[in-house]
Amino acid sequence: MIIGPRLLPLWAVGLGTLLPVAVPATAAPHSYTVVIDKLKFGPLPAQLHKGDTIIWVNKDMFRHSATATDHSFDVDLMPGKAGKIVLNKTGSIAFICRYHPNMRGVLQVK
């Protein structure tokens, strides 16, 4: 054995730490959080890409949802809970809260 058993884990750990830096930023899907508070969707992430995840955090005492008007995603959000979706298409995706249709926003996905 050229690589001793004690050396291998160290080498693996070293590569593991370097890996995220080496890969271009656009290749790996990102995860973003959108906070819902006082019957409003908070700031939306700007640089979204297909495959990215959005975690919707409902800080209200009310039940909400994040529902795409084109039905590409729909997540029910109980009071104080969070839910996530994965963006499966590109373009402008308008969404509303199913229970409070005047709560709305548009995601721009590249």
Partner 1 sequence: MIYRSSLFAAAAILTFSGTALAADAPNDAQIAHIAYTAGALDVAAGKQALAKSKNKVVRDFAQEMVQDHTAVNDKALALVKKLHVTPQDNPTSQALTKAADSERSKLAAMSGASFDREYISNEVAYHKTVNGALEKTLIPSAKNAELKSLLETGLKLFEEHQAHAEQVAKELK
Nearer to partner 1, 27 or 61 (CB): 61
Find, among 91, 90, 33, 89, the residue nearest to 66 by Cα.
33
- How long, in residues, is the chain? 110
Phi, psi of 64 (to 5 degrees): -130, 180
- Least spacing, CB of residue 85 vs partner 1, in Å: 22
Q: In sequence order, what are the residues at sequence separation of 6 or more whose Cβ sits closer than 8 angstroms to the Cβ of residue 57?
A: 33, 34, 35, 36, 82
- Least spacing, CB of residue 40 vs partner 1, in Å: 8
Nearer to partner 1, 68 or 109 (CB): 68
The strand pair at 40-41 and 64-68 is best described as unpaired
- Least spacing, CB of residue 79 vs partner 1, in Å: 7
Residues found near partner 1 in the complex (CB under 8 A): 38-39, 61-63, 79, 99-103
Count CB-CB contacts under 10 A for residue 87.
22
